[in-house]
Chains A and B, each alone.
Chain A
Amino acid sequence: MQTFVSVRPNPLDRAETGSERMTSITINVNGRNWTGDVADTSTPLLWVLRDRVGATGTKYGCGIEVCSACVILADGTLTKTCTENVANFIDKKLVTIEGLADMPPAGSSGVTGKMLQEMWVESQVPQCGYCQSGMLLAVYALLRSKPRPSDADIDQAISNICACGTYPRVRDAIKTLTGQAIAA
């Protein structure tokens, strides 16, 4: 599995002015350690993942924690990454969309990351696809706590914004995966 699109040094990080103090940090993303120098440890994790690690599957939508485009699993907890400092994630195991395929069954649902992805293809859930990284991780997290989520559970847990309106397909795919009937 290719986890990272690229891991590369960033030219402007090399304190071109000499005035920036660089801090070396290590984060664990999808089971691999990434180490790099950052000028600013208050940078939200999202931008370290996207611009430095090169894991661009995690998306920017709002930057103020209202859309869930940027969610990942941090030590298993669904977490927004667009405001929280990278420094807070240094000891955590991070799973992004690039690592979903390797995820074991979510709780007692029996649904693995791979099964979730296959169901998304089979049900043709994505349209533009931009929100789907966050959507898939949110669904994985839901299935771990509610192996057979009710409509109300789904309404409550899936608060991601999808401007394309894939919600009906997301709901139906969850129901199918968990052996529940789909509303006609």
Chain B
Amino acid sequence: MNEMSGFPLKPAPFVTTEEPAQPKADNFKLNRRSFLKASIAAGGGLMLDISLPRASLASKPGEDASFAAGKATLVIGADDSITLIVPGGEMGQGINSALAQIIAEELPLDFTRIRTVPAPYGAQYGTGLQASQVTGGSSGVRGYFDYMLDAGATARSMLVAAAIQKGGDPNTLRAVAGFTDPDSGTWTPNLVRDDAGNSWSYGELATEAASTNPTTSRMSDPDAYKVIGTRMIRPDIREKVNGSAVFGLDVQLPGMKFAAVKHAPALGAKVSTMGAAPAGTLAVNLDTAVAVVAADSWAARKALNALTVTWTSLSYAQQSLVDTATQTGSLNSLLSSTTSAVAEAKPAGTSAATVLSAINSQPRKLNLTYSFPMLAHACMEVLNCTVEPLYAPDGVTVSAINVWCPTQAPDWVVNTVTALLPALPRDKISVTTTLMGGGLGRKIEQDYVAQAVRVALFAKAPVKLMWWREEDFARDFFRPAAVSKIQVGLDANGSIQGWYNRIAAPSVMRSHGFVSPTASYSSFVDSIAVGSAVGNGDEPMPYANAMTRRVVDYVEQKTGFSLGFWRSVGQSISCFAVESAIDECARLLGRDPYDYRLSLLAGNDTMKALLEDVAQLSSWKSAAPPGTARGMALSPGFGSSAAMVAEVTRVASGSTTNYKVSRIFCSVDCGFAVNPDQVVAQIQGGILQGMSSARWGRMQFDHGVAQVKNFSDYRLGRMADTPIITVRIVNQGSPLGGIGEVGVPPVAPAIANAYAALTGTRKRNLPLGI
């Protein structure tokens, strides 16, 4: 129900101009006039525009952080249709139906008949938006919760007001949801009715309702929601089981042509010369790639392979920056760099030297280095974008651009078009967000969009541009590689007297312009790179309070790889290092990893409760099945946290021994779950993605050339690899949290910890290769 991608996010601040926000989501008082606007819908009915807050994306320097993010629109048609136009992208996380579900709490609705459609970007949807209509950072549902409740309440009050004008009894009028009779199949629409026997369908009232004055407020009781918090069938599922769902790759336009793209073999190289296009096709030089336009996808690919292209070569220095072996060496050498940026010091001002000497004076010490490969997004739907250029009567001037795109950032798409066509007014650009076959953070990027626009302008025709799988892997924006060194000093009681964690990694923030380009390499800390390694971030390190002295510092690596936001971003690194190291401490001390963690969680009741819950769920204290051992890990978050236990089982096949992940248990706290079944689905998905990347995920380059070409080189778990997964939702009253990401980080350490318990061998390098 939330997004699957990562952003450097802060919890969404609700933009209220006149009244201060209350800390508890349920108590928000919004100024309705400032964010709701009613009008008569085209074709009759009530159209309610709901201005939404800017998503919680961190601001780029110089960017105005105060404007609204855009609109959701609720349309109650005169024909009794209910349409919700939603701003967030649908990547399978069920955000659309979760938003509809929140509205339905206040405005009774037949949930099976709601249509949710993604907001097109265009004049109607708020020109001037910048980095705002972006789906990421698990911010979708939690950012919009209160706005949707108030929109539902307002729409209801307007319908009731219209019913009063039609002679309804003001004292007994109420709204009731429509339904389909299971036997006859007859549909009763959503109704407003009174005790005197009057009733009108929403559609009959909607046009008149548009000009009434909403007066009432919410009726729902936050302690007893009737719709929110129940299992709802997502309305978008049906089209996904009969082939009618339209993903980006399924867009078809009259006269459309098909483009295939081939990038330079070496990352960073450019087109040097390009030969003539094969007969019946067009070839386009895209600087770092070439594209061929043809009659269908296959013809485009064949022609692309037949096209003669020579590429520039990389200098030795350039090659080193895009070579996995060299870059790994450089990361390791940064571990002993004398220049670093301090991310956290406790007590304040503590130096690395001080904490290291404290560690060295303890009876037990550990010096542990964990390493992380680059990871690919590997969405099932490859990158693609369809662009239709329209021309003025002169046949040369572009008069409008229509884009259909599986994108997590439709307003960035507009920026991309504008950058290529500065003379084209923004309101002549329309962007239709299609369904996405996975977003996972890759589909915020604009590279493939810019290519599609350039190719369509060259062809002067509607073009669907697609990357074949090999390109999709080779030119991903990768989760960066990293190393994390943790030194720990334990006193005689096992207390952590000193903890020093150095993280070396390139900066995703810098690569995306979230810091000034001149930010010093010795003082800038990339909050994504340190993730939950620090105790003072959005994902606070759970054991921080139990550490007497701690220093966390960061050394930024310069790299030539393109970096991006990968599901759970920095926590995919920090969680593995911290949870493995804590486990290693427990083993060194001969303590049960669960008991030891509990002893370190004093004052962190949320994580403690989750840990206790997962221990109970997994029968931690009972013996594991034969040939099986358990490992655990915690994944902290500001809005959502999880505790996880993995079971790893030895499987003998002939003379070789293999291992399988047989079970995973997860207790998750995401505050209030709008649609609990979808929370479970997201956690299941997060766990399986976490498992695949923990065991096998690795993207490598040899002097700029991608070594992963397809799924045959980049293993994703399949049915036979899938453990039995048990998820329990534990609501401890924390603010609404995102759920797309929290399931991912604890999987790798839980598996590594279980493997260590089973075999006595500690794996500190990802992927685990088991």
Contacts and interface: CB of A to CB of B under 8 A. Distances in A.
B242 A101 contact: yes
Most buried by A among B94, B295, B681, B689: B295
A5 B280 contact: no
Interface of A: 2, 5-6, 8, 10-13, 15-17, 19-20, 39-40, 43-44, 47-48, 50-52, 54-64, 66-67, 69, 96-98, 100-101, 116-117, 120-122, 124-133, 136, 154-156, 158-171, 183-184
B317 interface: no
Given A19-B279, A43-B298, A56-B250, A167 B718 contact: yes
Contacts of B440: 163
Nearest to A119: B241
B245 A129 contact: yes
A128 B280 contact: no
B91 interface: yes
Contacts of B296: 10, 12-13, 43, 47-48, 51-52
Interface of B: 91-94, 233-234, 236-247, 249-250, 252, 254-255, 257-258, 279-280, 294-299, 302, 378-382, 435-440, 468-469, 677-678, 681-682, 684-689, 710-712, 716-720, 722, 724-726
B249 A60 contact: yes
22 contacts: A8-B252, A8-B254, A11-B255, A16-B280, A56-B250, A59-B247, A59-B381, A61-B711, A97-B241, A121-B241, A122-B233, A127-B94, A128-B437, A128-B439, A129-B241, A131-B437, A160-B718, A165-B685, A165-B687, A165-B722, A166-B685, A169-B684
B233 A121 contact: yes
Contacts of A166: 681, 684-685
Contacts of B258: 51
Most buried by A among B94, B233, B438: B438
Q: Main SS of chain A's interface residues?
A: loop
B233 A56 contact: no
Contacts of A136: 241
A66 B712 contact: yes
B720 A163 contact: no
A44 B243 contact: no
A184 to B, nearest CB: 8
Contacts of A120: 237, 241
Given A16-B280, A128-B437, A136-B241, 9 more contacts: A51-B296, A56-B249, A62-B711, A98-B244, A125-B237, A127-B94, A128-B380, A163-B438, A169-B684
A183 to B, nearest CB: 5
Contacts of B468: 63
B714 to A, nearest CB: 10
B249 A66 contact: no
A29 B249 CA distance: 20
Most buried by A among B296, B688, B710: B296
A48 B91 CA distance: 27
Nearest to A8: B254
Contacts of A5: 244, 250, 252
Contacts of B380: 59, 61, 67, 69, 128, 130-131, 161-164
A153 B299 CA distance: 39
A55 B242 CA distance: 11
B469 A61 contact: yes
B372 to A, nearest CB: 20
A1 to B, nearest CB: 9
A97 B436 contact: no
A180 B244 CA distance: 30
Contacts of A183: 724
Contacts of A101: 242
A132 B381 CA distance: 12
Contact of B710 (A66, A116, A124, A171): A66
Most buried by B among A43, A125, A161: A161
Contact of B711 (A127, A161, A170, A171): A161
Given A62-B711, A66-B711, A128-B380, A39 B249 contact: no
A138 to B, nearest CB: 10
B681 A127 contact: yes
B249 to A, nearest CB: 7
A43 B258 CA distance: 14
Contact of A124 (B237, B378, B686, B724): B237
A130 B380 CA distance: 7
A128 B710 contact: no
Contacts of A62: 469, 710-712
Given A61-B711, A168-B722, A51 B717 contact: no
A15 B239 CA distance: 36
Nearest to B720: A155
Contacts of A167: 688, 717-719, 722
A171 B719 contact: yes
Given A12-B257, A40-B299, A168-B725, A128 B435 contact: yes
Given A67-B711, A163-B380, A126 B719 contact: no
A39 B241 CA distance: 32
A172 B240 CA distance: 18
A124 B677 contact: yes
A167 B721 CA distance: 9
Most buried by A among B242, B299, B381, B712: B242
B298 A44 contact: yes
Contacts of B249: 56, 59-60
Which 3 A/B pairs are nearest by Cβ-Cβ distance? Answer: A57-B243, A165-B688, A130-B437
A161 B716 contact: yes
Contact of B435 (A10, A129, A169): A129
Nearest to A170: B719
Nearest to A183: B724
A170 B719 CA distance: 9
B685 A129 contact: no
Given A160-B718, A171-B719, A171-B722, A60 B92 contact: no
Contacts of A20: 279-280
Contact of A121 (B238, B438, B722): B238
B280 A17 contact: yes
A178 to B, nearest CB: 16
B710 A64 contact: yes
Nearest to B723: A168
B242 A57 contact: yes
A12 B93 contact: no
B464 to A, nearest CB: 9
